[in-house]
Amino acid sequence: MKSSVSTLGAHDTLRDFTADRRLLVLSAMALATGSFGAGAAWVLLKLIALVTNIAYFHVLSATTVYLSHVRLGAGSILIPVIGGVVVGLMARYGSDKIRGHGIPEALEAILIGQSRIQPKVAVLKPLSSAIAIGTGGPFGAEGPIIMTGGALGSLFAQFFQLSAAERKTLLVAGAAAGMTAIFGTPVAAVLLAIEVMLFEWKPRSFVPVAVSVIVAIAWRPWLVGPWPLFPHTGIPPMPWWGLALCACVGVVAGLQSAITTGALYWFEDLFEKLPVHWMWWPALAGIAVGIGGLIEPAALGVGYDNIGALINGTVLLHAAMALLLVKAVIWVVALSSGTSGGTLAPLLMMGGAVGAMEAHFLPFGDSGFWALLAMAAVLGGTLRCPLTATVFAIELTGDLHVMPAVLIACVASFAVTVLLMRRSILTERLARRGRHLTYEYTVDPFEVMRVSEIMTHPVHTLPARMSTEDVLAFFDTGNGVKRHKSYPVVDDVDRVVGMVSRADVLRWSREGWPRGQTLDEREDFGAVFVGYADELVGHLADRMAAAGVGRVPIIDRATGQLAGLLARRDLLRVRANAARLERERARPLRLSG
């Protein structure tokens, strides 16, 4: 018998992390994506300022201005309407990928586009966002810059021979670099990448993303300015029960997140029912934005000045109420229309306004402290990223002392939203396009279980000295004995030398064979595919899928002798056992009566 054992990479090379020299290549390329993201952030901020100055002050200048204390006339209602018309035209005749707040579009590119983003998106996204925000749109710059930085990272990756997974890493690296350059929050940007965009925790992706944000934070003082963006120091003396109030603030923030997300997609459904093309929806939303600007100009634009005022505790109760109501209404209406704009800054502002209002009823702490807690909690609950939101608040303010209080609020908000809402504000849009995401990171049972734990043993085998006639008689099911589809063939010392299947027997019946021929005399055995008893189940399952094999003889790595057999149904038992452990409850210890 001419046969050999095929291992197909079954040698034990297991490590804690899967990493190779490609990690160094991607990290070197991340130096470029970090610079691209930082540069794109600078360009976007300058474009927003330029459009704002032209639209509201009729001045050709790229100096940053805010509309909080500007007195607007009735004619200002037309400004966001015109901006909406321009954005609608760009989306229809340029690329509809510029619609929305950026992160869902980046996720879609990762999930179904093999992390490939068109070049025109990298140009149109920041331009359309600058027009939408600069003409009064109540959005932040972070969503567009995440999409733009991701697009630049994707474009850069497409010039090289990379896999889809490697392109994803550079796309996310560019996106995280853009967020870092805007807010000066490198650690939060890395956490956002892990919690929201990467769908994995691997050195191959983590290290390049970290390199990219480090480059971006190095560029930030030269391009955007110093950090922290909203300095804040000190934490109020807190009694032992004060942390419970922080949790209550988080619960309110979770409810606020659920209401905001529900309202956003309710309005989106209303726009879908309008008898006009979606190109005109941003213009219609611009009417609401313009009216809102007349009522409360502070609700227009990115509003970073308002966020700073809320954290500093200088916003009065009535101003916080007006800011919350107007900002919430115009942001929900404008974003649901499909225009281009971000979510982080508006969420911070609306959460901070609620926190400033709550401060008037809480027994300790100023309004700035509670506004900061509510900001982070709304962000953590709405985006479903409590760790990112916690670190984000600390990096925004440079105040490490607030970490315990912010963490409690963010976790409470997160718990409320995951219990009340099936999806987040990011994933709901993808779900409406037929895409489902699961953000629960768990240990894969296939990656912790050895083959020896699930293989079948002892195994029914056929001896190599068995004659072909006897093999045909063995597979003949006319005697009522049920046979498997295939059996391992072993030699005198129980080493696997081949596999015989029912298909082989049928072929031999058609072709014929020399009288008295035994299995070890046949010439038509190829390499036999084997697994090892100490091999991980997931590793063997991947090899079986690649080879198209359904039943695998398992051998002992030390002796080379047959140890068992693994079939596809055995793999299904792994999943069934994992589900049982999640479902079944028991009480191992009991107090004796």
Distance in angstroms (rounded) separating the CA atoms of residues 155 and 167 = 9
Distance in angstroms (rounded) separating the CA atoms of residues 565 and 488 = 9
The pLDDT of residue 13 is: 58
Which segments in the chain show pLDDT lower than 50?
A: 2-3
Show the tokens assigned to 477. 């099911």
Distance in angstroms (rounded) separating the CA atoms of residues 157 and 160 = 6
**Half-sphere exposure of residue 416: CA atoms within 13 angstroms, side-chain side:** 25
Q: Per CATH, is 22-223 categorized as 1.10.3080.10?
A: yes
The pLDDT of residue 101 is: 66
Q: Per CATH, is 445-581 categorized as 3.40.50.2300?
A: no
Cis amide prior to 239 (ω within 30 degrees):
no
Q: Domain 242-431 is of which CATH architecture?
A: Orthogonal Bundle (1.10)
Question: Strand 562-567's sheet: what is its strand order?
Answer: 531-532, 551-555, 562-567
The pLDDT of residue 374 is: 96
DSSP 47-99: HHHHHHIIIII----------TT----GGGGHHHHHHHHHHHHHHHHT-GGG-
First to last CA, the chain: 69
Distance in angstroms (rounded) separating the CA atoms of residues 322 and 339 = 24
**What count of other Cβ atoms lies within 10 Å of the Cβ of residue 583?**
7
Task: Please tell me whether the overall predicted TM-score, pTM, comes out greater than 0.75 for this model.
Answer: yes
The pLDDT of residue 473 is: 81
The pLDDT of residue 524 is: 65
Q: Please choose, from the candidates 552, 557, 575, the residue with its C-alpha nearest in 3D space to the C-alpha of residue 456.
A: 552
Residues of the chain within CATH 3.10.580.10 domain(s) are 445-581
DSSP 459-515: ---EETT-BHHHHHHHH-GGGS----SEEEEE-TTSBEEEEEEHHHHHHHHHH---T
The pLDDT of residue 234 is: 67
Degrees to nearest 5, angle at CA 174 with 169 and 175: 95
Q: What are phi and psi of 561, to 5 degrees?
A: -85, 160
Cis amide prior to 275 (ω within 30 degrees):
no
Q: Which amino acid is at 54?
A: I
3-class secondary structure, 179: helix
Residues of the chain within CATH 1.10.3080.10 domain(s) are 22-223, 242-431
